[in-house]
Amino acid sequence: MPEQMKFQWIRVKRTHVPKGWIKGNANDIGMDYDYALLELKKPHKRKFMKIGVSPPAKQLPGGRIHFSGYDNDRPGNLVYRFCDVKDETYDLLYQQCDAQPGASGSGVYVRMWKRQQQKWERKIIGIFSGHQWVDMNGSPQDFNVAVRITPLKYAQICYWIKGNYLDCREG
């Protein structure tokens, strides 16, 4: 097996979760707090995507998002999907990508063309949370939901990583 294909477990040193998740009532915690950061005990040697602030849905490249996850109905298989964003709030993106439990926590990303480098770059702009019924013009509609990385969430995640808000000015 090629070296880049080998799987290696790395222990988690610390888990960071937003205060809204910790302090909220279990019955009314909004999906907007459904994200966390896992700090590893040692660095991994893999390529990774940068994170960024989620643009408005109308400004998403191609109007779509992408994510991959291990759906419960396909054990052991990494499933890639992409789809259009149907609606949004400040904290959430509503879409109808075909996803099942098990994919929750997957990074939601966009593909952006970098003109200067003449290449595509992927940037994480949200976290897949799960399923939600949403009232659309008086009738309930079924959506899968991603938590958007807002400027405030970006600053929080950056602070968890760097420990200093002054190092967290770009997004």
- Token pair of 37 as six digits: 């950061």
Task: Say what the alpha-carbon torsion angle 95, 96, 101, 103 is, to the nearest 10 degrees.
Answer: -60
Confidence (pLDDT) at 16: 92
* Position 95 in a domain: yes
Residues 6+ apart with CB under 8 A from 63: 57, 84, 85
pTM summary value: 0.83
Helix, strand counts (H, E) of the chain: 2, 9
* Position 8 in a domain: no
Confidence (pLDDT) at 90: 92
Q: What angle do CA 137, 141, 146 make, to 5 degrees?
A: 110
CATH number of the structural domain spanning residue 85: 2.40.10.10
Range of the domain at 140: 48-167
Q: What angle do CA 144, 106, 10 make, to 5 degrees?
A: 160
- Token pair of 52 as six digits: 């960024």
Query: pLDDT tens per residue, the chain (171 residues)?
Result: 455 566 778 899 999 988 877 666 555 557 788 889 999 999 888 888 999 999 999 999 888 999 998 888 888 888 899 999 998 999 999 998 888 887 888 899 998 888 888 888 899 999 998 888 888 788 888 888 999 999 999 999 999 998 887 877 765
* Position 26 in a domain: no
Beta strand pairing status for 92-95 and 107-114? Answer: unpaired
Beta strand pairing status for 37-40 and 12-16? Answer: antiparallel
Amino acid at 156: Q
Confidence (pLDDT) at 96: 86
* Position 27 in a domain: no
